Homo-oligomer: A and B are copies of this chain.
């Protein structure tokens, strides 16, 4: 018997504890992931996911989320959705649809409302204040408006061998209305095959989607690489290739877990992530590139 979860960023710590407790009690990978991501979405102090997320250039919190079932490859996703308390729940529900499983913009919001998901204003007072301050700072200087692309991404494995992956984000602070990053895109933001493993991404979505890194990591694991070797190979070779071709690679960080609960990570920036499995309590790690094709990982 084995089970485990891995997630991007320190903000996933509490959520992962809830998810792992669920797995410990023979809960499903799917429910564990939903609980864990909802915990991140619901926490107002996290400024890049769900409630409390930073708004777009018009002051509206637009969110992206995706859910993938590694047993069936079923996928559900939303992008540019507003006023929905838990985008991951909408994505999961959509994964059961044969048609219309990826919805964007006003259509996504209308669907969530129609189906009966909890709707709420997602812009907190603190996020509104950050928005006003940024507007002021932009007016005063040549400040680049964009930052805060910290997606929560998770891979979850339960003791029946089922695997799922999910992502949730409010995207780039001050993004153009309707901007979508890699998070809701299969192959870029997430990918999972329960016979192999899963992977998720966080970072500059515009660059991540140029490389389909989540798909590539799962493919490399299928070809026999460990999760760590697969992450290193996919991330650092693409970082080098994108730098060569495009001049610069944005920040990106990938996590992976295989179907035995082993895990890996690779990143071209300082990055925190959280892991727990049958052998290990939930642990916070930092990761950074060793600049020789590998990753330096330290438990906190």
Interface residues of A (CB under 8 A from B): 56, 71-75, 79-80, 97-108, 110-111, 146, 172, 175-181, 185-188, 191, 204-206, 209-212, 215-216, 219, 241-242, 245-246
Contacts and interface: CB of A to CB of B under 8 A. Distances in A.
A177 B110 contact: yes
A97 B209 CA distance: 14
Nearest to A195: B245
Nearest to A177: B107
Nearest to A212: B187
A212 B209 contact: no
B100 A179 contact: yes
In the assembly, how many copies of this chain are there?
A: 2
Given A97-B206, A103-B180, A187-B188, 5 more contacts: A73-B246, A102-B205, A106-B177, A185-B186, A212-B212
Nearest to A99: B146
Contacts of A72: 245-246
Nearest to A249: B73
A280 to B, nearest CB: 30
Nearest to A149: B99
B105 A104 contact: yes
B104 A104 contact: yes
B209 A74 contact: no
Contacts of A186: 185, 187-188, 209-210, 212
Residue of A97, A103, A188 ringed by the most chain B CB atoms within 10 A: A103
Given A107-B80, A212-B186, A215-B215, A100 B175 contact: yes
A105 B25 CA distance: 42
Contacts of A215: 187, 212, 215-216
A73 B107 contact: no
